[in-house]
Amino acid sequence: MNKIKLLIVIGVWLISFNIASQDVVEKKYNTFQEFLTEQNLKISKINNGLNKVEVEQIMGNSMIINIPKVGKMKPLNKLFKQPEYINEYNSNPEKKINIFWYFSTPKDQDGIISKKECTPVIFENDRVVGNGWPFFNNYRRTVRLN
């Protein structure tokens, strides 16, 4: 039982450290759609050949977004990480693959951001080789990501 508590404490600490290690900005939007439009505009600026630092500059820091109550929609005060998820594949020393997942399309509206609600950005050796679900699905089959 104590081991489980220790693992939970370590897990919470690691998540907190990851969030704290990034600068988090607070942004206010009039509507959730306004936030989504801005997020997708940023994603549309990610082109092949950009490196990770350039992509991070385009997408900006993680943010806490604040949206007032609009109609039936409840007010929102939520952290959105930039990126939400990162996958690393290093099975081939010649080709380091990273996938950054950026929130772009709400689907479940359950408050939990899943990868299916994100746009994948695929890097090989620190350079963007493509993004979006059609590219990712083809890339996954071709490269055989596990």
Tokens of 29: 């939007």
pLDDT at 125: 95
Integer Cα distance of 85 and 117 in angstroms: 11
pTM, two decimal places: 0.80
Distance of CA 103 to the CA centre of its chain: 5
Q: What is the pLDDT along the chain (146 residues), one digit of tens a residue?
A: 566 554 454 544 444 444 445 589 999 999 989 999 999 999 999 999 999 999 999 999 999 999 998 887 788 899 999 999 999 998 788 889 999 999 999 987 777 899 999 999 999 999 999 999 999 999 999 987 75
Tokens of 60: 């900006």
Integer Cα distance of 66 and 64 in angstroms: 7
pLDDT at 108: 79
Cβ neighbors of 87 (< 8 A, separation 6 or more) are 98, 99, 101
Q: Output the CA angle 49-130-134, nearest 5 degrees.
A: 165
Tokens of 146: 């596990």
